[in-house]
A and B are shown apart, each in its own frame.
Chain A
Amino acid sequence: MMVSRRDFFRTCGGVGCALAAGASAGSGLLRAKPAFAGNVPRAYPARFWKKLGQKRIECELCPKHCQVDDRERGFCGVRENHDGEYKTLVWGQPCAIHVDPIEKKPLFHFLPGTRAFSLATAGCNLECKCCQNWDISQSKPEDVDFRFMPPDEVVRNAKDYDACVTFTYSEPIVFLEYCIDTAMAARKAGVRTTMVTGGSGEAAPMKEALKFLDAVKVDLKGFTEDYYQRLCKGKLEPVLKTLEVIRASGVWLELVHLCVPGQNDSEPEIRAMCHWVKTHLGADVPVHFTRFHPEYQMKNLPPTPNATLVRCREIGLGEGLHFVYTGNVPGLAGENTTCPKCNKVVVARRGFEVDEIHLKAGHCAFCGATIPGVWS
């Protein structure tokens, strides 16, 4: 069944839903203004860095380990050396704020049918040629419109919307201090916190954040170093390490693989990835195969054919993964959560809407099997 992008928008539920890719700065409570001029971001002390002498510092937030001179910034563009002290220019300064269905992240095993108070700052430590949100992720703080929203205000807003807090759209790792401080405040207030990330981070700061997070969705963008280097200006290995760190922490984890035609969707690559997920993370970690839409520097490619998504899902199931989904194509088989024991649908979805839930305290309502996730 073919569903157009426009039709998909119509089917999207919740507030602030905008793009099929699960992330957009194009609409919502605060809209990013690309090429905005005149905003001066405030600088706050950054964590996770060390001094190298002569005012040069080394950032220890992500595997790039940028060595940054005085008055310069690292690859992410949001952390700056001020006279030998590293500062973050995005703490408390989100440029995109939306209330989304949690399914849009996508997190399918985390409080289905609830809402996510979603926010992002400028900047990213990767540069994916197919980025859906390049207008904020590839911008510096002063290039976008932003507002000041300290952690307590984020938590109050999330409570008002009866939502969890979700750091998403760009790359939360580059605003990790803000994430950690907000997640701490949220936990104190009894509000859950989730993160949507590319996973290209160092273990120590990630472990610090995981103390206060309730779920993480990681974009596993490809399963070759070539893909990461050629199309993302990143590396695969650190992402795999991050996945293991998250899994070991016990924080709920889901994966997304955006299937870019001809780039990361070959059968051997998908099979190898699914095998790695099963052997290193376990069969219960959900994997979402989602449709690519031409964007940013990859407008020359077609959207992912539905058949590719279906085939990827079959490979994942064939490799023994219990929960494999298709995404960005409402109505395509693979949106529902099926009990791995009795094969009955326990959560029925269409797009970002949840139609039915047949779970009892985290167990299949039909056969009683445990369905892993955070359900209450």
Chain B
Amino acid sequence: MAAIASRTSGEPSTGKPRVVVVKAKKALVHGYDADRGALRAMLAAGLVALTQQKDAVASLSKLVRPAERIGFKINGLAARQAATHVELVDEVSALLAKADVEGRQQIAFDRFARDLSASGFSSRLGRYRCVGNDEAGHEEELSQMPSSASRLSRVLTSQVDGVINLPVLKQHMLAGMTGALKNNFGCIHNPNKMHVDRCDPFIAEVNAIPAIRDKQRLVIMDALRPVVDLGPAYQAGMIEVANTLIFATDLVAADAVGLELLEKLRARHGLPTLAKAGVTPTYLATAAKMGLGVCDLSGIEVVTIEV
């Protein structure tokens, strides 16, 4: 299933990409662990609102096919305290299984095995495989971009047919913010070379690589407890509990809505806007200009749900 087709399937006829923001009253237990019951309710509400299907399983069936191998691109950089919640991926995995994408067809992946492990992702639990790019390796052939060149993760190129992008919403001291677009830096071998100039145009160009772009099926942004400053690492005192998940099939739109939330949380925390802090995430506009999605909020249909 092509990414473009999935992007429009079930979405409203306004022509605008839809982004669904689902907020729970309480989605966390014991500090940073996520409440599985709350997550199930949030996933059901978000997926149905995004795709206009009868339930979450039917929604996922619109986005992935039974025979497909699905990768969960998580963000495990900051370990358990600020990584994609493993409980969230577990619940998405369970829904996928009901949509006939069995656990053995699912892989959670990120740059390093140690990051997966530190974030609670382990193949030993038997739900789905967890593979670091350092274990699977990268393609030898370079993917050329206008401003750089990279080798792609072999997990991405040969072990999955589609990707569910599960970033964590965070302020990023170099890029401005990190969300769905930047999460795909974890699909290349050399993101360290691309953090100059606010990662612009590198993030956009990486997301325009066909092998990355065409496999994006769905974004579920983990904004349960975003890092509002001094990111992307976990910093004590820089977490704002938001109990929120953001659903979209347009990565740029997902990030634009995530950015709006991040700015609100920063204001609540007494922090200046990213622009005033000198870290405007300019790569969003670049990605939009490259046709990867919509970053202008007026061009996005934002649906907000409380569960």
Contact = CB atoms under 8 A, between A and B. Distances in A.
B192 A77 contact: yes
Contact of A72 (B138, B233, B235): B233
A76 B79 contact: no
B192 A296 contact: no
B233 A55 contact: yes
A67 B173 contact: yes
Most A C-beta atoms less than 10 A away, residue of B78, B192, B231, B232: B192
B235 A138 contact: no
A190 B148 CA distance: 43
Contacts of A372: none
Contacts of A34: 140, 151
B278 to A, nearest CB: 14
Interface string B80-106: 000000000000000000000000000
A35 B138 contact: yes
Contact of B135 (A37, A56, A74, A76): A37
Interface residues of B, number: 31
B238 to A, nearest CB: 9
A132 B68 CA distance: 39
Q: In terms of DSSP, what is the predominant structure of the interface of chain A?
A: loop
Contacts of A75: 192-193, 195-196
Interface in A17-53: 34-38, 40
A71 B115 contact: yes
Interface in B133-156: 134-140, 142, 144, 148-149, 151, 154
Interface in B230-266: 230-236
B209 to A, nearest CB: 14
Given A55-B233, A69-B232, A71-B78, A35 B192 contact: no
Nearest to A127: B193
Contact-residue bracket for chain A: 20 to 34
Nearest to A297: B149
A314 interface: no
Given A35-B140, A297-B149, A138 B193 contact: yes
Contacts of A143: 137-138, 151, 189
A376 interface: no
Interface of B: 77-79, 115, 134-140, 142, 144, 148-149, 151, 154, 173, 189-190, 192-193, 195-196, 230-236
7 closest Cβ contacts across the A-B interface? A37-B137, A69-B233, A77-B192, A35-B140, A70-B233, A142-B134, A35-B138
5 contacts: A34-B140, A37-B135, A56-B230, A134-B149, A297-B148
Given A67-B173, A72-B233, 19 more contacts: A35-B151, A36-B137, A37-B137, A38-B134, A38-B135, A40-B134, A55-B233, A56-B233, A69-B232, A73-B192, A75-B195, A75-B196, A134-B149, A139-B189, A142-B134, A143-B189, A233-B193, A297-B142, A297-B144
